[in-house]
Amino acid sequence: MLRAAGADDGPAIAAVQQTAWRATYGDLNPAMVDGLDPARTADNWARAAADPARRLRLAERDAKVVGYALSGPAESEPPGVGELDAVYLLPAAHGLGAGRLLVEDALTSLAGLGCDECVAWVVAANTRARGFYEHVGFRPDGGRGIWRGLNTVRYRASTTGARTKRVSA
Ligand SMILES: CC(C)(COP(=O)(O)OP(=O)(O)OC[C@H]1O[C@@H](n2cnc3c(N)ncnc32)[C@H](O)[C@@H]1OP(=O)(O)O)[C@@H](O)C(=O)NCCC(=O)NCCS
């Protein structure tokens, strides 16, 4: 199930981030993963949960946080474009449908804010995430960047296009 994050969820989200980043980026940029400070990360997530301009949703299983997604209007795009800033799940929660639920929730929310499109930056070497994004309706739009020394590609999706398994906000 999904639920809104609260100020008390900082440590749980930070723990998921640590494990998910280790699994996703541990081979690509180990220093970045080693450099995550649990207390500071937890504070950052508590602040994000309280930020009215962002949507931070948690995926829970057996009453434990197993994943999260952060979205909101894109800061580096024209008005009317939203951004999926992050979607991360514990490896044990992969392949159970939580990723799709989190993305669909973010797209539905962005559509409600008047954003017709959503962008998501993905590390180019993250083939699992790229396959996932393409499966749920995102397409690479040619944008390229660098994030913490890693090459990234920008994906884009309509927030209002027909998709299967749509969930309500
Ligand atoms: C990428 C990630 C969020 C996907 O979440 P998930 O819960 O494993 O994916 P789901 O189970 O919701 O899959 C949704 C659909 O995508 C498909 N899918 C998942 N991964 C796929 C892949 N690599 N290639 C093609 N299709 C894929 C599933 O088969 C499923 O299809 P269906 O709904 O039509 O049956 C998750 O694997 C994850 O957290 N990865 C590590 C962190 C990461 O890389 N995050 C992205 C950073 S940009």
Domain edges within the chain? 2-158
Residue 23 CA to ligand 1 center (angstroms) comes to 14
- How far apart CA 84 and CA 75 sit, in angstroms, is 11
- Retrieve residue 39's tokens: 């207390």
Residue percentage of the chain with pLDDT more than 90? 93
Mean pLDDT over 25-41 rounds to: 97
- How far apart CA 117 and CA 158 sit, in angstroms, is 4
In the predicted structure, residue 168 carries a pLDDT above the cut 50: no
Pocket around ligand 1 at a 6 A CB cut-off: 20, 24, 87-89, 94-100, 122, 126, 128-129, 131-132, 135-136
- Retrieve residue 80's tokens: 């009317």
Mean pLDDT over 86-98 rounds to: 98
- How far apart CA 118 and CA 74 sit, in angstroms, is 8
CATH class, range 2-158 = alpha beta
Q: Residue 162: what pLDDT?
A: 53
Name the band, by pLDDT with cuts 50, 70 and 90, for residue 166.
very low
Pocket test for ligand 1, best of 87, 132, 156 (most atoms within 8 A of CB): 132
Write down the pTM of the prediction. Answer: 0.95
Q: Residue 161: what pLDDT?
A: 75
Residue 96 CA to ligand 1 center (angstroms) comes to 9
